[in-house]
């Protein structure tokens, strides 16, 4: 059951990114949330800061001519109090079918109204990927 919920969440997440759909991406998150990259930490407290942060992300993806986003590996572990940790290795593909970005992202999820929502994402080089307890097949 959990893997179905996670697959559904991340299918929606990928679709939202592919279509630059701010409201669909935001539906995957619980505010406040944090986004961590090697370059910065963004604390997103409200709709305004969410829009600013993701408008910037979408601008980068548009300029890179993103055509596809693939989860090359995904695993998860169950936490306490309806939390889940997920580690996904991502490949972002451009219109020339070349990988222009690949990295791992570690997601911390919390259950809100019977749905899992992202409250924290830590993105790093693939060498930091972690294999968690259960495999997760994310269908694209």
- Give the distance between the most distant pair of CA atoms in the chain: 44
Residue 140 in domain: no
- How high is the pLDDT of residue 138? 87
- How high is the pLDDT of residue 139? 74
The range of the structural domain enclosing residue 65 comes to 2-135
Instruction: Give me the number of domains the chain comprises.
Output: 1
Q: How confident is the model at residue 140 (pLDDT cuts 50, 70, 90)?
A: low
Cβ burial of 14 (10 Å; 0-12, 13-18, 19+) is buried
Q: CA-CA distance, 133 to 140, in Å (whole number)?
A: 22
Give the whole-number percent of the chain exceeding pLDDT 90. 89
Q: CA-CA distance, 42 to 47, in Å (whole number)?
A: 13
Residue 37 in domain: yes
Mean of pLDDT values over 96-106: 96
When computed from its CA atoms, the radius of gyration of the chain, rounded to whole angstroms, is 14
- How high is the pLDDT of residue 71? 96
Residue 15 in domain: yes
Global pTM value: 0.94
- How high is the pLDDT of residue 1? 58
Residue 123 in domain: yes
Residue 103 maps to which CATH number? Answer: 3.10.450.50
Q: CA-CA distance, 29 to 34, in Å (whole number)?
A: 10
Residue 76 in domain: yes
Q: CA-CA distance, 137 to 117, in Å (whole number)?
A: 18
């Amino acid at each position: 059951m959990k893997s179905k919920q996670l697959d559904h969440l991340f299918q929606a997440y990928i679709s939202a990114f592919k279509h630059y759909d701010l409201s669909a991406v935001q539906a995957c998150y619980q505010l406040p949330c944090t986004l961590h990259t090697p370059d910065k930490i963004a604390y997103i407290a409200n709709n305004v800061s969410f829009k600013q942060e993701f408008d910037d992300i979408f601008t980068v993806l548009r300029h890179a001519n993103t055509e596809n986003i693939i989860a090359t590996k995904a695993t998860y572990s169950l936490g306490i109090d309806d939390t889940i940790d997920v580690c996904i290795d991502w490949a972002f593909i451009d219109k020339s079918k070349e990988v222009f970005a690949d990295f791992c992202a570690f997601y911390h999820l919390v259950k809100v109204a019977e749905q899992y929502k992202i409250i924290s994402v830590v993105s790093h080089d693939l060498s930091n990927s972690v294999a968690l307890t259960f495999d997760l097949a994310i269908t694209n």
